[in-house]
Amino acid sequence: MPVHHLLQQVAAHRARRGQRDRRPPWITRLIGVLAELFEPLVGVGRVGFDCQLLEDSWSIGLYLGRTELVGGRNDGDSRHADFQFDVRDLLSQFTLVEQCVWNARANPPANNDDDAYSTLTVSGLMNDHSVQVHIFSHPPIDAGPGLRQFPNGDLKTV
């Protein structure tokens, strides 16, 4: 193998290293389990999430993504998905629930903050790990669509 090709591979590996998933495997599995607890009331949905390690706990935010309409007279419109979420199964993931709070806002503020809609937050321990799980009724403002729907009804994940 030529040396310059090997050096290119090393540089590419270093660039990808910063983009790797740094979550422990149990967090990745948990996100998958929690995503299964969403049930769209109509059609299908795609779960989005944000996961962060805070000072002493993991914070996981989950939501059902928007569907963007592509083509036709409603091209560019987005629709939020109505869904139900299995709270009992969420709670069963915790070995100790320290807090369970539902914030509901009937009239979101005009500035469209990420916190403008309903949020369920459960905090506690999962085995020996401190975890906060946030279930959002709407995706964050800066989240792109989860799905794109075409005039013929076809869906494409984004």
Q: What is the pLDDT along the chain (158 residues), one digit of tens a residue?
A: 444 444 455 555 455 554 556 889 999 999 999 999 999 998 888 899 999 999 899 999 999 988 888 888 887 777 888 899 999 999 999 999 999 999 988 776 666 555 567 899 999 999 999 999 999 998 888 887 778 888 888 788 88
d(CA 4, CA 10): 10
Hey, what amino acid is at 48? Answer: G
Pick from 134, 136, 151: nearest CA to 65 = 136
Encoded tokens for 146: 């989860």
Q: Are 116 and 109 in contact (CB under 8 A)?
A: yes
- What residue type is assigned to position 6 of the chain? L
**Rounded Cα gap, residues 135 and 138, in angstroms:** 9
CA proximity to 96, closest of 137, 57, 38: 57
The reply to whether the predicted model has a pTM over 0.85 is no
